[in-house]
C-alpha cells in the first residue's frame, strides 16, 4: 500500500516501536491458538490477529494513565496499553499469577496499573464504564482521556447511543473506537447494520472519522489529533477503523465458508496485513531494511516463548481463592 503524506509525521523510532507492539500481539495470538489446539488452554479465546494496527495505533496516542476499556477480543488492547505477556498468558491459563488471579480469563483482563479498566464479555458492555471514566476524569479535573474499544457488533446495542448522547452533552474526554472487522460473530455487518456508521455519531454532534485500520501510522496520527482535542476539553470523538479478523469468531470457529469466503480472507491477509503494510512502507522509503524487522520478530518470539513457559509453570490459585474478592 502506498504511503500517505501523514507518514512523515511519525518518526522511525516510533514506527518501529509500533511494529514491535503489533508483532508482539501477532505472536501472542498465534501462541494462544497453539495452546488451544494442544488443549493446554481452558475455554476459548477470540483472537485479535489482523487487527493489531488499531489497538497499537490507538494506544500509542495515549498516556499510561489514560484509560481504555476493551472487548471479548481484547488481548491486543491489553498488550498495546502495556500489559506484560507473561501475566497475560497466566490469566489465559487460569493461573494465580494472571492479571486477575485467574478469575477473569481471556475475556476479562483488567490492569488498572496500565489504565486498562477491563475487557468485557458483554458486547458493548463497557461503553458505560468508559464514558463513566471520562466523566470521572472531568469531575476530578485530571487531563485523562479514555479510548472505548468496541466492534461493529456493538453498534446494535442501545447502551452505546445512550452514553454517546451524554458524552456529547457533557463534552467528555472520550474516543469511541469502532473496530469494524465486518463480522459480528458469524454474521456479516451488511445483514445487521442499517445506515452509515459515522452518521450515528454525527447525529449527536460527535465528530466521526472512518479510516483504514490496517495502517498503524494513520491510526496513530488520527488518534493523536482526536486525543489532543479531547484533552483540550473539546469533547468526544468517534473513530471507525476498518479492519479484519484473520481467524474466526473464536479459536474454535474453523469452518467459516458459510459466512465469508476464502478469497476475501486471502485478500486481507496478503494485501492489507498491518505488519506488512508498515514494513514495506518503511523499506520503500529507505528508512530501514528487512533485517530490522527480522530482529524484532525474533525478539518478540523470545518474549512470547518465555511468557508462555512462565504461565505453564505457574501454579493455579489456591482453592481458598474461590470466595475471595467477591467483595472489596
Partner 1 sequence: MSEERELTFAEAIREALAEEMRRDSRVFIIGEDVAEAGTPFKVLSGLVEEFGKDRVIDTPISEPGFSGIGVGAAMTGMRPVVDLMFGDFLTLAMDQIVNQAAKVSYMSGGKLHAPMVFRTTLGATRRSAAQHSQSLHAWVSHIPGLQVVLPSTPYDAKGLLKTAIRDDNPVVFFEDKMMYKMKGVVPADDYTIPFGVADIKRAGSDITIVATSSMVQVALGAAKMLDEIGIGAEVIDPRTTFPLDKAALIESAKKTARAIVVDEGYERYGVTAEIASVIADGAFYYLDAPVKRMGALDVPIPFSPALEDLTVPTEQSVFEMARRLCGKT
| Residues forming the site for partner 1 (CB under 8 A) | 67, 69, 98-104, 108, 110-112, 117-118, 120, 122, 125-137, 139-140, 158-159, 162-163, 165-166, 169, 324-328
Question: What nine digits make up the cell of 48?
Answer: 485479535
* C-beta of 67 vs 310, nearer to partner 1: 67
88 closest CA partner among 71, 105, 112 = 105
Q: C-alpha angle with apex 201: 200 to 203, nearest 5 degrees? A: 70
Nearest-approach distance from CB 44 to partner 1, in angstroms: 17
* C-beta of 51 vs 66, nearer to partner 1: 66
What is the DSSP annotation of 156-169? G-HHHHHHHHHHHH
Q: How far apart are CA 55 and CA 19, in angstroms?
A: 12
Asked if residues 89 and 76 have their Cβ atoms less than 8 Å apart, the reply is no
Q: How far apart are CA 21 and CA 13, in angstroms?
A: 12
Nearest-approach distance from CB 322 to partner 1, in angstroms: 10
* C-beta of 63 vs 295, nearer to partner 1: 63
Q: How far apart are CA 69 and CA 174, in angstroms?
A: 11
Q: What are phi and psi of 148, to 5 degrees?
A: -105, 110
* C-beta of 169 vs 302, nearer to partner 1: 169
Asked if residues 15 and 285 have their Cβ atoms less than 8 Å apart, the reply is no
The alpha-carbon radius of gyration of the chain (Å, integer) is 19
Nearest-approach distance from CB 93 to partner 1, in angstroms: 14
* C-beta of 90 vs 219, nearer to partner 1: 90
Nearest-approach distance from CB 162 to partner 1, in angstroms: 3
- 314: number of Cβ within 10 Å: 18
* C-beta of 84 vs 166, nearer to partner 1: 166
Nearest-approach distance from CB 121 to partner 1, in angstroms: 8
Nearest-approach distance from CB 255 to partner 1, in angstroms: 31
* C-beta of 125 vs 274, nearer to partner 1: 125
85 closest CA partner among 246, 298, 301 = 301
Alpha helices in 158-289 (DSSP H): 158-169, 189-192, 197-202, 216-231, 262-271, 274-284
Nearest-approach distance from CB 67 to partner 1, in angstroms: 7
* C-beta of 58 vs 133, nearer to partner 1: 133
Nearest-approach distance from CB 8 to partner 1, in angstroms: 37
Asked if residues 117 and 110 have their Cβ atoms less than 8 Å apart, the reply is yes
Residues with Cβ within 8 Å of 102's Cβ and at least 6 positions away in sequence, in order, are 90, 91, 93, 94, 95, 96, 316, 317, 321
Amino acid at each position: 500500500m502506498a504511503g500517505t503524506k501523514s507518514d512523515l509525521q511519525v518518526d522511525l523510532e516510533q514506527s518501529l516501536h509500533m511494529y514491535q507492539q503489533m508483532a508482539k500481539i501477532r505472536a501472542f495470538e498465534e501462541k494462544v491458538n497453539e495452546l488451544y489446539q494442544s488443549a493446554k488452554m481452558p475455554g476459548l479465546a477470540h483472537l485479535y490477529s489482523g487487527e493489531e494496527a488499531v489497538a497499537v495505533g490507538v494506544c500509542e496516542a495515549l498516556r499510561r494513565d489514560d484509560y481504555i476499556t476493551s472487548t471479548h477480543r481484547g488481548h491486543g488492547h491489553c498488550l498495546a496499553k502495556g500489559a506484560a505477556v507473561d501475566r497475560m498468558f497466566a490469566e489465559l491459563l487460569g493461573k494465580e499469577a494472571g492479571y486477575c488471579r485467574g478469575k477473569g480469563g481471556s475475556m476479562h483482563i483488567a490492569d488498572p496499573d496500565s489504565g486498562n479498566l477491563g475487557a468485557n464479555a458483554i458486547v458493548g458492555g463497557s461503553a458505560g464504564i468508559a464514558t463513566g471514566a471520562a466523566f470521572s476524569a472531568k469531575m476530578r479535573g485530571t487531563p485523562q482521556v479514555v479510548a472505548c474499544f468496541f466492534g461493529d457488533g456493538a453498534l446494535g446495542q442501545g447502551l452505546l447511543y445512550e452514553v454517546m448522547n451524554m458524552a456529547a452533552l457533557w463534552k467528555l474526554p472520550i474516543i469511541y473506537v469502532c473496530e469494524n472487522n465486518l463480522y459480528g460473530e458469524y454474521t456479516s455487518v451488511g445483514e445487521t447494520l442499517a445506515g452509515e456508521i459515522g452518521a450515528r455519531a454525527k447525529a449527536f454532534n460527535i465528530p466521526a472519522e472512518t479510516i483504514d485500520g490496517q495502517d498503524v501510522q494513520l491510526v496513530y496520527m488520527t488518534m493523536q489529533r482526536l486525543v489532543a482535542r479531547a484533552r483540550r476539553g473539546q469533547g468526544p470523538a468517534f473513530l471507525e477503523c476498518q479492519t479484519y479478523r484473520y481467524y474466526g469468531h473464536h479459536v474454535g470457529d474453523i469452518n467459516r465458508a458459510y459466512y465469508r469466503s476464502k478469497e476475501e480472507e486471502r485478500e486481507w491477509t496478503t494485501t492489507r496485513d498491518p505488519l506488512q503494510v508498515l514494513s514495506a512502507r518503511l523499506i520503500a522509503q529507505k528508512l530501514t531494511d528487512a533485517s530490522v524487522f527480522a530482529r524484532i520478530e525474533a525478539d518478540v518470539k523470545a518474549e512470547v516463548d518465555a511468557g508462555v513457559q512462565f504461565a505453564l509453570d505457574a501454579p493455579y490459585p489456591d482453592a481458598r481463592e474461590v470466595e475471595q474478592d467477591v467483595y472489596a
